[in-house]
């Protein structure tokens, strides 16, 4: 199976509807740690089985305590849901991914129903490594003062109900299920949110359909965003939806119209400080909080004879530099026991290997050594790294054992843009 690119997108657009008193989550949802790194799949995106799984949740029968604002808030939830349905349709249409869409709204998000409905919908997903997943929530949310993670608790059973869903648990669930790309988009707030006007997300020019693939299929990494800094309110206005939703979608659509779409520009546009027309809830502005690591893959990788191995069976790795830029190659194994081991270069291989643009190499590149599968059963990952310049690295000295940790490590060591990582999973049974 030919391996290409992956992208992990986690958006938390916190803007609409909150509660006076944050409610402590039940034990099964409590999470004060940041989400774990996802498995970064690189399976070819032209597989006929590739599916876009989308779960859209919206509190369209809002039970806000302020009667004069209920209709305004409901219209905002309905508009957000409409825009997300359109985005899912567009992604499916222009990438060729088969759509598996589920919508939970209205009466289903009631006490005794909502949490179970959301959990069952996620349990029903049969996710493959080449699939894409979008989880979207538009409703009320809150946080505790002692919560370390910036992501909110979601009131999936109505405003102020004690049975909540932790956004971190959703991100961790999807990380463990290992799709090629996933988005967690949360339109909720940590505090009370006064109504406010949102910018128009429409812009001049026509969307270039190929840009959906260029942005969503030809990148990997993650994009995590909150509508406001911790401790800030976030704002929305009725049928126009949320201020940050409008700003994010406007920035995204601008790049969908561009001849050279770039996630860095999406981030810049989405992250601009939002100036409020009047001082609302003691704030004159709203500043989005965004953390992202996004790359375009430079290497294609294929594990031979397949990604399934028996103990003692030999693996071969075919790697192609699909860019035009020459780069230094490193190949590592992250086994089922989370131990990072250098595969290439090694004591039996060529000491250095610079791949020219378009060049393909198979490892082992000589008959002087093999890559046998050990007796540690389970899932492991082969990590191929392209470096613009050679650096001396000892894999055993790298203090990280997750893919997201490796991304941050190389950003710090060599700088973003000076390296690229491609990952493929394998099973030993």
What is the residue extent of each domain of the chain? 10-295, 299-428
CATH architecture, domain 299-428: Sandwich (2.60)
pTM above 0.85, yes or no: no
In order of 5, 298, 364, 374, the CA distances from 335 in angstroms are 21, 23, 18, 10
Give dist(CA 288, CA 224) in Å, integer: 11
pLDDT at position 160 is: 66
Give dist(CA 265, CA 289) in Å, integer: 15
In order of 92, 326, 327, 412, 413, the CA distances from 390 in angstroms are 40, 11, 8, 15, 12
Give dist(CA 234, CA 232) in Å, integer: 7
E strand or H helix that includes residue 406 = helix 403-414
Phi, psi dihedrals of residue 53, rounded to the nearest 5°: -85, 125
Question: In which residue ranges of the chain is pLDDT below 70?
Answer: 1-49, 62-69, 146, 159-160, 189-205, 220-221, 237-238, 278-281, 293, 295-297, 350-352, 367-368, 375, 394-397, 399-401, 403-404, 416
pLDDT at position 100 is: 95
pLDDT at position 123 is: 93
pLDDT at position 85 is: 93
CATH of region 10-295: 3.40.50.1460
């Amino acid at each position: 199976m030919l391996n290409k690119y992956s992208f992990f997108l986690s958006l938390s657009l916190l803007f609409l509807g909150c509660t006076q008193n944050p409610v402590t989550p039940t034990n099964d949802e409590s999470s004060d740690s940041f989400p774990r790194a996802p498995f970064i799949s690189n399976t070819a995106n032209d597989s006929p089985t590739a599916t876009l799984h989308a779960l859209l949740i919206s509190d369209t029968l809002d039970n806000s305590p302020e009667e004069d604002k209920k209709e305004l808030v409901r219209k905002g939830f309905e508009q957000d849901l409409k825009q997300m349905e359109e985005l899912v349709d567009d992604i499916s249409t222009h990438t060729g991914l088969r759509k598996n869409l589920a919508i939970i709204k209205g009466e289903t998000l009631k006490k005794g129903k909502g949490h179970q409905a959301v959990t069952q919908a996620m349990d029903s997903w049969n996710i493959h490594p080449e699939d894409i997943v979008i989880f979207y929530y538009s409703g009320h949310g809150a946080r505790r003062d002692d919560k370390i993670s910036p992501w909110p608790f979601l009131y999936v059973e109505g405003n102020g109900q004690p049975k909540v869903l932790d956004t971190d648990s959703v991100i961790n669930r999807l990380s463990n299920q290992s799709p090629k790309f996933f988005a967690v988009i949360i339109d909720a707030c940590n505090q009370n949110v006064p109504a406010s006007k949102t910018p128009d997300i429409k812009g001049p020019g026509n969307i270039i359909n190929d840009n959906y693939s260029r942005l969503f299929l030809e990148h990997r990494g993650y994009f995590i965003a909150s509508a406001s800094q911790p401790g800030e309110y976030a704002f929305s206005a009725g049928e126009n939806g949320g201020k940050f939703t409008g700003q994010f979608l406007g920035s995204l659509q601008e790049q969908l119209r561009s001849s050279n779409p770039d996630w860095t520009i999406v981030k810049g546009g989405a992250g601009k400080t939002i100036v409020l027309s009047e001082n609302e809830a003691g704030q004159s502005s709203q500043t989005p909080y965004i953390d992202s690591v996004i790359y375009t893959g430079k290497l294609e990788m294929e594990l031979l004879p397949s990604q399934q191995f028996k103990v003692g069976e030999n693996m071969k790795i075919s790697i192609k530099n699909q860019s035009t830029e020459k780069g230094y190659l490193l190949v590592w194994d992250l086994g089922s026991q989370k131990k990072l081991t250098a595969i290439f270069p090694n004591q039996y291989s060529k000491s250095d290997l610079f791949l020219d643009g378009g060049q393909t190499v198979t490892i082992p590149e000589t008959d002087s050594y093999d890559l046998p599968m050990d007796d540690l059963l389970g899932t492991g990952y082969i990590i191929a790294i392209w470096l613009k310049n050679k650096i001396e690295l000892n894999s055993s000295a790298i203090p990280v054992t997750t893919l997201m940790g490796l991304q941050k490590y190389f950003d710090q060591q060599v700088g973003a843009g000076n390296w690229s990582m491609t990952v493929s999973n394998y099973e030993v049974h």
